[in-house]
Structure 1
């Protein structure tokens, strides 16, 4: 789903938040894939294996997982990629496909909640993507434009089911037949904990997956809360609601650290109350027998600074220690309560202000973007979607000079224009903040590269006035301006239909 479509969807009601499916995203080589949470038994570090002679190269071997034989399959080898040494990021995703199978991936990225509207059926992309091993695509999730949903069952059938040697090896070692229900592993007992594990200051913690609403990236800008405790980083907007953010490092009196690309926000929800916990990184989903959860030692249990930690899991023969945090106790922490209280006040003030503005005057809803130090706005209804700039645009020979290139947008050739060049601004080097805003001008879909998309803003029409006439072209493009004097902001409003002249539209049509 595009960013603009997501804004519209979220605005239709918070009840959509309860709908969705959970996926685990992971990388193999340069590609990002996803698998639905349902068949995922656990995510583990790559275990030592016993190699089986005369088996396909993709089968690393057989591992012992708590007394059960687990075939370990390398996805890099299956995808004909160059093999690499196992490192700290490498993981094995254990799936139940009639029997447990471990698939080695380069890195497990995150656990995400995806709305049905973000799932693209595989039939819609057969023209441009080989869909034999896919069940669909996820749109605009986990910071990626498209994430492929891998069909592991089809992958196993395609790669192994015709190999008699593998069948005999797996059947003899595990007492199971690959891809069938015979000899299926016994169902997990109910006394098993499913935990989302994460790291803070090189220590590993976990929280039960039932209390995790979702995992999101840290936004570029966090709005600070005046007079808040140092644990409270501020607030962010998540699905049209304010979400308070607290730092687990500072709550646990650990050394501070700036967030980076690995940092994540774990959104914890309990009894309708949500709070975002800033973490160094999210590791994996663990399935741990309840018997392995040990209570806190009495001496540590009396320490008020450790009140949120309810138990310890000793994994890998005690070499790996995971502290389990109680969501209920976490939300009772004084810093979290202060953040929730401040956010509730801000939310109420914002809602009251919106109600007052709606009753006094009409509003316009704008998408605000930046070019250099200036802000521009376009009506939200004119924006079809907002997408990331691909690493490489395809350059079309003899295309008009103002065309930067073309890209494939879900099977449609999209001409892309550098908005800086259109506005006579100096060019800049491409970066991660740039976006392509897609408009339909005279029935022609066209993308314009901007430096960044700032926000979606509602502005009272009383604050919008005619722009001073400085030139005929300026007047045609920027006929109005929003003067937000209180915030010391001035936003030039762009008329999207005037972004291209008639002859330019004809030239673009030939390119497309």
Structure 2
């Protein structure tokens, strides 16, 4: 309760059916409610993250922070506190002044009652809810540190995709990214059936070709098409495929040279090898960018690429980039650094159940003789998982720990400039931060999971569940 004291300028607003106020000196601006990105594992009071004028900011519900039922929360008040934060409120009323006590700090929240004004230490409430609020951000090792040395040396990585139900693969090392078509192609380079024209890409133009036509396949395209951006020397080519299947690592012993008879079909592309998957139960046709075209066509592509300025300029090439695997859970997109992903496989129809395992362990997967625990990540993130054919298992590995996470779909493998990736606001319910960075991908804000934190949390929850038994 306050008595008469010094005058202080305040901004009044309504939240949870009550009139409240904060000191005007800590208010940066007032905005309409922005689009929010939900943060799994976060305290209930964290409504989400928002891109506020190019800065990723946490948005906290004042009502939930006070243990009340929120209203429409149609506006946010951006506050300059120990950790910058935006408060979600029902509506801002006006600037005014009121008498306050000298002891009322910068972070004081004034709540009007029938007979008196209650003063709440807003920063203390935030510290109680968020373990890291107000702390100086410590140097964190990059979440995308190269973990490829920990992967089996005798395995080769492939981006696998489908055409007419057949599985094809390109070596991961020649694929820059896999993306959704964002706009129709235009300006066909020639009248070849495989030529689909060009599309904007990284400040230039990317030629698109139909891999279906190159392989001599005549059926209709099916699924959600993807563009596989592959390198042919210094040039880049967009290969249009029916659907992204997975990222696979195949032992060298399971990769055989292609029989010569397979390269006598009507298509232009040449097959490099055949990979045996799942103990030989399924075969994947391995292609290489150079083998997709004959020598004359390669010369034409490179000349046309130069004329159309499809090569990325030196300035763009100089920009450091990180490759991310974007996946979907419910209605939200998340991402993992590609360096932390060992492979991505289809979710089997059945998993081997483990007696007395915690509820979040869906079962175990036999991955080339290795037993991998599989976790339903949708349920752990509090998302509504979808039982569809697009569900995948992302296999991650850090040192000796290997875990599979079920996701609703893997939508893209994409390069993102590092200046489009920023640290996530340092607000967490405990010391473990599952999401340490945020990527701006087009008009989307995508949370990046810290692979080690994701695995550490899975292990910690597993130990806790076993201890509870």
Which structure's relative contact order is higher, taking Cα pairs within 8 Å and 6+ residues apart? Answer: 2
Asked if Structure 1 and Structure 2 have the same fold, meaning a TM-score greater than 0.5 normalized by the shorter chain, the answer is yes
Measure the CA separation in 2 of the matches of 1:270 and 1:16: 9
Contact 2:341 2:396 in 1 (8 A): yes
- Which of 288, 291, 311 does residue 154 from structure 1 map onto? 291
- Which of 176, 187, 195 does residue 51 from structure 1 map onto? 187
Residue aligning to 2:162: 27
Measure the CA separation in 1 of the matches of 2:278 and 2:370: 19
Measure the CA separation in 2 of the matches of 1:145 and 1:43: 23
Match status 1:282 vs 2:410: yes
Task: Report the alpha carbon displacement of residue 157 of structure 1 after superposing the two structures with TM.
Answer: 3.0
SS at match of 1:262: coil
Task: Report the alpha carbon displacement of residue 24 of structure 1 after superposing the two structures with TM.
Answer: 0.7
Measure the CA separation in 2 of the matches of 1:208 and 1:142: 28
Task: Report the alpha carbon displacement of residue 90 of structure 1 after superposing the two structures with TM.
Answer: 0.7
Residue aligning to 1:337: 460
Change (3 A) 1:327 1:340: farther
Instruction: Map 1:63-462 to 2 at 5 A.
Output: 63-82=199-218, 89-98=224-233, 99-122=235-258, 125-127=259-261, 130=264, 133-140=270-277, 145-157=282-294, 160-161=297-298, 169-174=304-309, 188=317, 191-258=320-387, 260-297=388-425, 301-302=427-428, 307-316=433-442, 318=443, 320-333=444-457, 335-339=458-462
Measure the CA separation in 1 of the matches of 2:282 and 2:178: 25
Change (3 A) 1:187 1:257: closer
Measure the CA separation in 2 of the matches of 1:305 and 1:218: 32
Contact 1:246 1:336 in 2 (8 A): no
Q: Which string of whole-angstrom CA distances, capped at 9 and with x for unpartnered residues, describes residues 445-491 of structure 1?
A: xxxxxxxxxxxxxxxxxxxxxxxxxxxxxxxxxxxxxxxxxxxxxxx
Q: Which string of whole-angstrom CA distances, capped at 9 and with x for unpartnered residues, describes residues 385-431 of structure 1?
A: xxxxxxxxxxxxxxxxxxxxxxxxxxxxxxxxxxxxxxxxxxxxxxx
Measure the CA separation in 2 of the matches of 1:17 and 1:204: 29
SS at match of 1:174: coil
Measure the CA separation in 2 of the matches of 1:30 and 1:127: 21
Q: Which string of whole-angstrom CA distances, capped at 9 and with x for unpartnered residues, describes residues 224-244 of structure 1?
A: 445544322233444444322
Contact 2:375 2:404 in 1 (8 A): yes
Task: Report the alpha carbon displacement of residue 264 of structure 1 after superposing the two structures with TM.
Answer: 2.0
Task: Report the alpha carbon displacement of residue 63 of structure 1 after superposing the two structures with TM.
Answer: 1.8
Residue aligning to 1:429: none
SS at match of 2:293: helix
Task: Report the alpha carbon displacement of residue 173 of structure 1 after superposing the two structures with TM.
Answer: 1.5
Unmatched runs of 5 consecutive residues or more in structure 1: 1-14, 177-182, 345-512
Measure the CA separation in 2 of the matches of 1:161 and 1:27: 24
Task: Report the alpha carbon displacement of residue 302 of structure 1 after superposing the two structures with TM.
Answer: 3.4
Q: Give the TM-score normalised by structure 1.
A: 0.54
Contact 1:243 1:343 in 2 (8 A): no
Q: Give the TM-score normalised by structure 2.
A: 0.58
Q: Which string of whole-angstrom CA distances, capped at 9 and with x for unpartnered residues, describes residues 354-385 of structure 1?
A: xxxxxxxxxxxxxxxxxxxxxxxxxxxxxxxx
Contact 2:164 2:219 in 1 (8 A): no
SS at match of 1:222: coil
Q: Which string of whole-angstrom CA distances, capped at 9 and with x for unpartnered residues, describes residues 38-96 of structure 1?
A: 111111112433313644342222222121221111223334445857x8711111111
Contact 2:206 2:236 in 1 (8 A): yes
